[in-house]
Structure 1
């Protein structure tokens, strides 16, 4: 029986033809398989804005919900044509979808492969074109903004600032509670940055913001000068009204500079351009 497959890509830049494989649909006309890599999808949170990421996730989930109806293993699911109508999974329609190039999700032209379609062959096809099954998960792991910043920014700025420094009243007299700061340096004025997760519960988010603001005030009272203070994070979903309003306030204020984690090179450039050095010896 003829088996066809079509790879799904996330379109990053149409002009430069930049795209990354995210999932695959495979069919022999009777049985249809579909799976996307939740691990890969999670990584795109640091690249796509919140609206695009939500759109991509919803689109992939909608395909999964339509195609996948009967679990066979923890990682592979099989479509039963007797249970669900999936007439769109055909070579002509997949070819039609591949020509629709304006969507953020793109289908590759369907290709034929000379194999019998079953769980094992689907796994091999998925691993060849998308991601190792053993390293993928059914659900995307929790997104951690601090881990992104620590991995992508810290190695580039470690010689110019103190990293992950716990500050107390011994460091700044007007600091009433200890706080661990992501980085702190000086170039005539203090320079500090803190990663904040705008997706967490509002009470804890407010507390994180308040503590960082308290630190900036304590620093400035120490030397009677104004500093440069960065807040690193990403825009929360608009449906979380209070969190989104707080994010917007921080983004628009002149006292703090918000930097999206997709643009953390801004901080590296600032530290280098202004010859920032560690605050503490």
Structure 2
């Protein structure tokens, strides 16, 4: 079984994805042969600390990597097409329609001088051509209702919205064309805990209604446990463990995964915070992609310099 295999034909398949960032001291290897598959209707969590390569992988999948970063190898197959091999016009036609992004910072993603209706309308008309004004407005109102926003939001500017409302507008934009795959890049990280829960529930409801597949990027293991079907743990540009969320949380096999889980505060017992010194290697050093060992059906762990427990 290859890393990140799902039952049935995957809607998205990432194989040996490699992303480097050019620096004066040499190339930084931000994604080191990342491989996984995303099943239809599945939510896959991509989790790890800042700098582990999560967002780098997301941007590479969408071909949004900017200099000094560059994709140096691998494939990203969406259905029968390789996104990395497409021409720019072909790719623009696919983005939003087949694969969409919910960005991390809604404040930086929305145009501050355009009303919500204009921003959603532009996304729709770019792919579908000019629409009758009344029909377009009604469609935008329906989209906003899917993410629990009232009709009045149509005529507002981003600065007139709360953080949670802005994030919901970004979700509405991402689902405007019913994409098969949604990549949510830490969509709740800038929100307070109460709003996080509401936005997370909105994501789940929208995904279920559209029957879309989702990659949910984040570092909060507790939130991931509530939202995803499978989880892939990233460390230093590698996927070091991947499996069902139940298997990974109940029986973590990689030392780094155990450290992440141990960082979740417990409400059942009082215990001191354990601070561990887990240092990533120098990412300018070329490293082989670690082999993956299947320790249980669908549960794979990397063999690396961090301690790995393997049965048998």
TM range (shorter): under 0.3
TM-score (norm 1): 0.26
Relative contact order, CA 8 A, sep 6+: which one is greater?
2
